[in-house]
Structure 1
Amino acid sequence: MTTTPTTPVGKTDEVDRPVESSPALSLRWRPTLSVPPPRAPEAEPVRWWPLAVALIGALGLAAFVWSEHGAMPATLLVLGLGLGFTLFHSRFGFTSAWRQLLAVGNGTGLRAHAVLLGTTATLFALVIGTGTGLFGNEPGPSAGPIGIALFAGAFLFGIGMQLGGACASGTLFAVGSGQSAILITLFGFIVGSVIYSAAWPLVADLPSVPPVLLSDHVGWGGSWAITIAALVAMVVISRVVQNRRVPPPVGAPPSAQGWARVLRGSWPLIAGALLLAMLGSAVLLVSGGPWGITSAFNLWGAKALQLVGLQPENWAFWTQPGQAEQLAGPVLQDKNSLTNIGIILGAAAAAAAAGTWKVHTGLSWNLVAAGLAGGVLMGIGARLAGGCNIGAYLAGISSGSLHGWLWAVFALAGTWAGLRARSLFGLGVPKPSDSVC
């Protein structure tokens, strides 16, 4: 049996509200008698206007991209729609999974990560190992150098996740589902990416060693076997930690019943993990590269600067051959931009169909400040590390790259620091009864 995501309807798993104060992060819970979770209440009525806007916008944009840029970009946009739809319904998160592991010892979310990583690693081994690609693209793994930039970037990203209330993928689907607070985090994400590209000459030559890919040493079969063994160990360790700390029980989220649950309800975490693995691997199959998110934020920031008359194209970062080509091209030809836009629209359609789409107002100063600071840290951290929870953690580990595992270790350390840094903004530790997905 799998666990059902437990985020209240109208909230994403990544948004840290409500909170309770805990100056020392001393979350020790006494075991209680086990009682069945309450039956999930019925879902809210469909929000027809937001649903119509999201669907018409998605279909119109897909048709435009197809006519202007071809079938491959349009396909990537459609895959993004599927990713956003899946992220919303499964509330599949990274911020909350690591937070719950460290705060109360609940490893449910981390075990869902293992399913996502193991399934993606299997599909990556099949696609890359056989050289199977569409649109003339040759699929390749995600491998990054190992050094100070990776360690510092992942650590900063971990802090930023807990301050901003969302990871990279969580930011996008939260924005799409109407979570206005996360717009602040997204803005900070873009600002942090721009800061990195402006300061790139200062960090371009930090000490590092070349990437380490298991497939270069033991082939794709051996790489897959080692990755799966490591993930099994991760599952066992998380279970041992959870058994020692006994997290409190949680209730069920509002959800449609029966077949209506597919379009209007919450999904089991495992279902989300499997679908995300398939859709993410389809991005590899279509584009030749793994699913990524944060490089698009850097591009969006540079394009915005150009609109106001500035010239980021003259910065050292954007004069590199690959980066210069990216900046000179249209946003709707950029792989990560297409999937990002698709995630926002897909989550908007899913939230409207579930009856939960709503623009939230009345933000307090501390939530705004924490969201902005967290976004900036994640923007800088993702660029330093060469990826985020998707581009480095998911794609790296699934590719059999050592940098993906090291990113996870340092991001987990950053999560620990980020939980404590919340008190600087007058925020407590999110309640353990919040979503664990």
Structure 2
Amino acid sequence: MSENEKRYRKPQNIITAIFFIISIIIAYQAYIYSGWQFVLLFIIGFFIGFTLFHARYGFATVYRHLVEDHITEMLRGHMIKFVVVTILFTLIFQFNIGLSGNLPDGAISPVTTGVVIGAFIFGFGMEFGSGLAPGRMNTAKGGRTALLFTASGFLIGATVGAVHFSFWNTSLPNGPQISLAKDTPLGFQGALLLQLIIFTLIGVGSYIYKRRTRPPALPPMPKGAGWTKFLFGTWPIWVGAVLIASLNAAVLVVQGSPWKLTAAFTTWGSKIAQHIGLNPSSWSYWGEEAPVKTLNQSVFLNNLSVLNFGVISGALITMSLAGLIRFSKIPPKLMITSLAGGFLMGYGACISFGANVGAYFSGIASFSLHAWIWALMAISGVFIAFYLEKKLQITR
């Protein structure tokens, strides 16, 4: 069987059933604690996880392809995603569209030293040792074992970042939060036009670059046969981009704020720290960036937790349907780099108000100036890490 004809393995029915039952329990608990609105958030998150698996979406994947192989196809997919989500967000903000009277509020954060340093650290860690990218769910070396170490490192890093949050964002030079739509003469129409022009220029420029350099095609991915292509196949990049953008808009309507990921990891890590005897309520993050009461409440009262439980459930069930919940022994070097890369990503994301979801995706769609700075610094981190890997002849 040729590389282009690869198929996923048979579905892991027992594992799928277990994940499905767990998902039902989570959705039920969300309903008991918080009502149907949180159940809806869980369902939206489930479809985000389902889409991530098929769409080759991810900040990590697109920029790793760009710096390592000069492949720009996924970058153009990101621009499609940004065009769609920015237009949808603009409509939602201008017409105050929200479920149950929730007024939509964007992912806007101040421009601080933490944003600059944290985004760079995130990008560096992502390139140097990450296996957490959605696009690597079905290709990661060592099966999904490396991904577990990366996710664990991210959880630890996002928790440690909460301890140092005030140092990076209050003690060091910092500025205000700036919305290109609300805090400049551009207004929503002007800010929308400006960002659409930027997305178009990046898309056209990347296509011209492709024609000149003729990079290799994207690596082939496993696919389904017949009707199973929808469940198991890799979708066209533009389809994934439109769906992810639409789902984030749905999150904004339902919970009043866009999709964020890192804050949920910081919450979970802080709760674990509290259970082992530490005092996270004294950490600067709690009280400045998030309410202290979250530490003593059920996770099912936390909208970001429920949403991201849905994302994880959707990804895991889709992976088990494709026969990909398999683990294998990995060399110590890969284990260490995966853990270290995840830690850097989690730490950098926490001190910079988010990662590739909250700061990059949702932040740019919300017209936040900090998001553009975050993107530039994170990309710089990717390039520096890639350069050091080549210079020091480090292989992953």
Counterpart mapping for 1:152-231 below 5 A: 152-166=117-131, 179-203=144-168, 204-216=170-182, 217-231=185-199
Q: Match for 1:365 among 332, 341, 347? A: 332
Q: Cα distance, 1:249 vs. partner?
A: 3.5
Q: Cα distance, 1:106 vs. partner?
A: 1.2
Q: Cα distance, 1:350 vs. partner?
A: 0.9
Q: Cα distance, 1:398 vs. partner?
A: 0.8
Is the contact made by 2:180 and 2:186 (CA closer than 8 Å) also made in structure 1?
yes
Q: 1:254 to 1:50 in 2, by over 3 A?
A: same
Q: Cα distance, 1:423 vs. partner?
A: 6.3
Q: 1:417 to 1:94 in 2, by over 3 A?
A: same
- Alpha-carbon distance between aligned partners in 1 of 2:386 and 2:303, rounded to the nearest angstrom: 33
What amino acid sits opposite 1:223 in the alignment?
A: A
Q: 1:324 to 1:75 in 2, by over 3 A?
A: same
Please name the residue that 1:102 is paired with. Answer: 67
Give the TM-score normalised by structure 1.
Answer: 0.83
- Alpha-carbon distance between aligned partners in 1 of 2:367 and 2:264, rounded to the nearest angstrom: 24
Counterpart mapping for 1:63-74 below 5 A: 63-74=28-39
SS of the residue corresponding to residue 146 of structure 1 reads strand
Whether 1:248 aligns to 2:216 is yes
Structure 1 range deviating more: 287-296 or 237-246: 237-246
Q: Cα distance, 1:417 vs. partner?
A: 1.5
Is the contact made by 2:71 and 2:218 (CA closer than 8 Å) also made in structure 1?
no
Q: Cα distance, 1:170 vs. partner?
A: 6.4
Q: Match for 1:55 among 13, 17, 20? A: 20
Q: Which consecutive unaligned segments of at least 5 residues does structure 2 have?
A: none
Structure 1 range deviating more: 331-340 or 361-370: 331-340
Give the TM-score normalised by structure 2.
Answer: 0.91
Q: Cα distance, 1:428 vs. partner?
A: 2.3
- Alpha-carbon distance between aligned partners in 2 of 1:400 and 1:314, rounded to the nearest angstrom: 32
Please name the residue that 1:408 is paired with. Answer: 375
- Larger helix fraction of residues: 2
Q: 1:172 to 1:249 in 2, by over 3 A?
A: closer
Is the contact made by 2:42 and 2:310 (CA closer than 8 Å) also made in structure 1?
yes
- Alpha-carbon distance between aligned partners in 2 of 1:136 and 1:254, rounded to the nearest angstrom: 44
Q: Deviation per CA, 1:70-91: give whole Å up to 9, x if none.
A: 1122111111111110001223
Q: Deviation per CA, 1:336-355: give whole Å up to 9, x if none.
A: 2112211111111111222x
- Alpha-carbon distance between aligned partners in 2 of 1:425 and 1:50, rounded to the nearest angstrom: 42
Q: Which consecutive unaligned segments of at least 5 residues does structure 1 have?
A: 1-36, 430-437
Structure 1 range deviating more: 240-249 or 165-174: 165-174
SS of the residue corresponding to residue 191 of structure 2 reads helix
Q: Deviation per CA, 1:127-155: give whole Å up to 9, x if none.
A: 11110100221101221222322111111
- Alpha-carbon distance between aligned partners in 2 of 1:201 and 1:405, rounded to the nearest angstrom: 22
Please name the residue that 1:46 is paired with. Answer: 11
SS of the residue corresponding to residue 135 of structure 1 reads helix
- Alpha-carbon distance between aligned partners in 1 of 2:138 and 2:4, rounded to the nearest angstrom: 26
Structure 1 range deviating more: 249-258 or 372-381: 249-258
Identity %: 32
Counterpart mapping for 1:356-395 below 5 A: 356-395=323-362
CA RMSD across the alignment: 2.4
Is the contact made by 2:61 and 2:133 (CA closer than 8 Å) also made in structure 1?
no
- Alpha-carbon distance between aligned partners in 2 of 1:426 and 1:191, rounded to the nearest angstrom: 28
What amino acid sits opposite 2:43 in the alignment?
A: V
Q: 1:224 to 1:321 in 2, by over 3 A?
A: closer
Q: Cα distance, 1:370 vs. partner?
A: 0.8
Q: Deviation per CA, 1:286-338: give whole Å up to 9, x if none.
A: 00001000011111111111111222123343244843022222112222211
Please name the residue that 2:40 is paired with. Answer: 75
* Number of residue-to-residue matches in the alignment: 390
Q: Deviation per CA, 1:42-64: give whole Å up to 9, x if none.
A: 44322211211122221222122
Whether 1:304 aligns to 2:272 is yes
Is the contact made by 2:9 and 2:324 (CA closer than 8 Å) also made in structure 1?
no
Q: Match for 2:314 among 346, 361, 367? A: 346
Q: 1:373 to 1:38 in 2, by over 3 A?
A: closer
Is the contact made by 2:132 and 2:151 (CA closer than 8 Å) also made in structure 1?
no
Is the contact made by 1:168 and 1:390 (CA closer than 8 Å) also made in structure 2?
no
What amino acid sits opposite 2:51 in the alignment?
A: T
Q: Match for 2:253 among 264, 285, 289? A: 285
Q: Deviation per CA, 1:355-377: give whole Å up to 9, x if none.
A: x3232221111111111111111
What amino acid sits opposite 2:115 in the alignment?
A: L
Is the contact made by 2:60 and 2:133 (CA closer than 8 Å) also made in structure 1?
no
- Alpha-carbon distance between aligned partners in 2 of 1:265 and 1:326, rounded to the nearest angstrom: 39
Please name the residue that 1:116 is paired with. Answer: 81
- Alpha-carbon distance between aligned partners in 2 of 1:167 and 1:413, rounded to the nearest angstrom: 19
